Chain A
């Protein structure tokens, strides 16, 4: 089954390019560490999911590019075409002349309705190219105007028009110290709307990716390109094919469906995060060897201490001995050390993958009380190595990991809202104070729900 990707805004398009590039590069990586037949099955599966084919054999990404101003999309299209390896469809791009000005209301209320037909038509064309549709993967940032506002609008439309297909929104959480001054407004408006219309929100935080670049990849002058490449690596390690059943050699057909089934048991809890291990520069990779036991030990601790990378982990954090109900909001003020999970999915790729012991993840103490580990925890495997990493493990988790950042954003947006700063910029384009209040209410609910796990 295929995934149709919608890349929105500057961020969405810059990331989208890196993701397809990573998927392609990995699927054509010569060091798969598996048999030729296995490798071919992997490639075919990856292709079915993410690429369609042109007559001359050049793979075309199953994606549409949307932006309200032309600079980024034209760059993205030409970058892909120049690579000579894969490209975007000739008519897969929709752009306008004037951007959304970092204004969620402009993206949602002006650009959305104005270009609804054109954008949905483009999506329809891409869907028709698929034999069978797994769902939509929408890449967008929260801080700007197009990704956030138009992204929320498009997702809503997808819910109406393709009610049987799944939608996963890939959201970029902005730097805490700001890229856009009204980013907190744009974020709460985006999150509240997506919570109603999306099936899952896969979140990447710029701050976390930045730290990985600095500490693990040892990059001195970090660019957005570096950050996007780390992100693409993480996404690739999740979305590339894995075996459908323990011990089989057939690859899963429905990546989005399987992800949702394993990770989103309840619609109140939709926020997913990715952790990946090991992650390092290619130079260091040549000199490193790992055991599954070691990797999984670190990964487990990264989960429970809410660490985003394998360096600087707090090993003192341990699961609570008894699962007493927490005290609601009051507990948020306490140092929220232990990260309670709702559901976890571990994806293992590489050598001796069947010998890996995942007992540590099946401990009921890791999970909230209303789900048994047998339902809350899943593992996917493949012997085919990912991008020169002899062994690599990814963890997709639905846990409290975003609770603090979400609470912070809601708090800051609330302070700004109480002062009425910048509100006139939004009401100018049809948003009312009521709409803001609705968003706040919904998100406070989400915060409370995650807090009470």
Chain B
């Protein structure tokens, strides 16, 4: 089995990362009753004897001693990382796997990318190499960051290129939180576009997320829980929304609950690689099946169910509802409309007591309402993992490569242009060594190129599907 390393960069990245590790521990605790360090655990955790000084403490088999996350935590401010190190997860992180600074990136991509990139390049490389050495067979780096700020956006994408150069055979999956329209960081469009260029060129797969969608999901759950609509069958505290604490009040910005959703996404994405099932799906299969052209690697994700049902024996009707929900906008982690756009590819990753006939039945049922590109009319990637997530009897993660991401990118470009035309705040960037206007132009052109590719595919949407003439063979 393979291992993955999580690289969490910036405030957003580290907060989400923290939720992820908490959930991962709880999931494995629920599955691994005997306390034996098994291969599933080793995919994200090392087993360490902390009494041994230095590096010799790794234990590969047998009882669990101390679990250490395969993670590298990077932030140019100390606040968030310090909070993690004082919180309940402090023993999960190896103190040698942290890189922090004091001053922060000031919401400036250039500071994150150019200044801190150069300053910390050696250190970051060293930590990454260390974490790779601890892996028997490293398959994937998961990078978690936000696009709108300075550290996650700038430094996060700086290390993407480093990962590509240093570990060319290891996949780079990036979970990126995109800024919503009402984002309070004024320069977020600049930061996002500059970061997009790096994502276009150096990421294998990007899972875009936006805060608004997460917020809408949380609101909907709160509504259902508080209205008592679903009666006593709903447990308010599900692994999806709550962390160690209680359910947050609605008027506060419930970042923890929102972060938990993203954490669940990562857990479900890797479940079929970690646990057994009748149709396994490894991480390298995600890229293989969902990325038909190297640039088009942005995947829309949707998760169901979002609340725990106490009733374990779900009748078929409920199971089918789960599939329908996965294709409803309410369950998506980014605001987009895949049903009215063009699908290039779609993957359904199912967990729990779901069999191939349930999959087939639902694919047949949902297919007619979805539009697929002409050369991939019946292209579905499916996986069945026997182990359900904690607190649920089954779950579904749908990943779609769909042209519906285009409006998100176009909106981003709009907001960028509004700022750039007035040269607003540009001097903060240009005063950084290595930054010139051409950087902005290149980034813009990279994004426009991407949008154009989606445009071309969209243009084929209404055309009739014609078969290409086949080779004719002389008999």
Chain B residues whose CB sits within 8 angstroms of the CB of A218 once the complex forms: none
* Residue ID in chain A nearest B460 by CB atoms: A419
Chain A residues whose CB sits within 8 angstroms of the CB of B291 once the complex forms: 422, 425
* Pair B278/A178 contact, Cβ less than 8 Å: no
A70 with B381, Cβ < 8 A, contacts A224-B278, A440-B471, A452-B475 known:
no
* Residue ID in chain B nearest A101 by CB atoms: B284
* Pair B357/A222 contact, Cβ less than 8 Å: yes
* Pair B375/A182 contact, Cβ less than 8 Å: no
A424 with B294, Cβ < 8 A, contacts A102-B289, A181-B376, A415-B467 known:
yes
Instruction: Kindly name the residue among A176, A210, A415, A452 whose own CB sees the greatest number of chain B CB atoms within 10 A.
Output: A415
* Pair A424/B2 contact, Cβ less than 8 Å: no
* Residue ID in chain B nearest A421 by CB atoms: B292
A448 to B472, alpha carbons, bound, how many Å? 9
CB-contact partner of A71 in B280, B287, B360, B473, under 8 A = B280
* Pair A224/B356 contact, Cβ less than 8 Å: yes
* Pair B293/A72 contact, Cβ less than 8 Å: no
Chain B residues whose CB sits within 8 angstroms of the CB of A227 once the complex forms: 356
Chain B residues whose CB sits within 8 angstroms of the CB of A70 once the complex forms: 1, 39
A176 with B378, Cβ < 8 A, contacts A71-B280, A99-B284, A414-B468 known:
yes
* Pair A415/B360 contact, Cβ less than 8 Å: no
Q: Indicate whether B355 reaches chain A with its CB closer than 8 angstroms.
A: yes
Chain B residues whose CB sits within 8 angstroms of the CB of A441 once the complex forms: 471, 473
A89 to B238, alpha carbons, bound, how many Å? 45
CB-contact partner of A178 in B136, B276, B288, B380, under 8 A = B380
Q: Indicate whether B162 reaches chain A with its CB closer than 8 angstroms.
A: no
Chain A residues whose CB sits within 8 angstroms of the CB of B360 once the complex forms: 175, 177, 210
Minimum Cβ distance to chain B for residue A296 (Å): 31
* Pair B136/A421 contact, Cβ less than 8 Å: no
Q: Indicate whether B290 reaches chain A with its CB closer than 8 angstroms.
A: yes
A449 to B291, alpha carbons, bound, how many Å? 35
* Pair B1/A416 contact, Cβ less than 8 Å: no
CB-contact partner of B137 in A97, A100, A179, under 8 A = A97
Chain A contacts with B in 435-453, Cβ cutoff 8 A: 440-441, 444-445, 448-449, 452
A97 to B39, alpha carbons, bound, how many Å? 10
Chain A residues whose CB sits within 8 angstroms of the CB of B39 once the complex forms: 70-71
Q: Indicate whether A223 reaches chain B with its CB closer than 8 angstroms.
A: yes
* Pair A71/B276 contact, Cβ less than 8 Å: yes
Interface mask (A311-341 → B, CB under 8 Å = 1, otherwise 0) = 0000000000000000011000000000000
Chain B contacts with A in 292-335, Cβ cutoff 8 A: 292-294
CB-contact partner of B378 in A100, A178, A220, under 8 A = A178
A98 with B375, Cβ < 8 A, contacts A69-B1, A75-B276, A452-B475 known:
no
Chain B residues whose CB sits within 8 angstroms of the CB of A414 once the complex forms: 467-468, 470-471
Chain A residues whose CB sits within 8 angstroms of the CB of B379 once the complex forms: 178, 181
Chain A residues whose CB sits within 8 angstroms of the CB of B290 once the complex forms: 181
Q: Indicate whether A163 reaches chain B with its CB closer than 8 angstroms.
A: no
* Pair A425/B1 contact, Cβ less than 8 Å: no
Chain A residues whose CB sits within 8 angstroms of the CB of B107 once the complex forms: none
Minimum Cβ distance to chain A for residue B25 (Å): 21
Chain A to chain B contacts (Cβ below 8 Å), 10 pairs: A69-B2, A70-B39, A97-B2, A177-B380, A179-B380, A329-B472, A420-B293, A421-B293, A440-B471, A441-B471
Residue numbers of A with Cβ under 8 A of B are 10, 14, 69-72, 75, 97-103, 145, 175-182, 210, 213-214, 219-225, 227, 328-329, 410-412, 414-416, 418-422, 424-425, 440-441, 444-445, 448-449, 452
Residue numbers of B with Cβ under 8 A of A are 1-2, 39, 136-137, 139, 276, 278-280, 282, 284-285, 287-294, 344-345, 347, 355-358, 360, 363-364, 367, 374-382, 384, 467-468, 470-473, 475
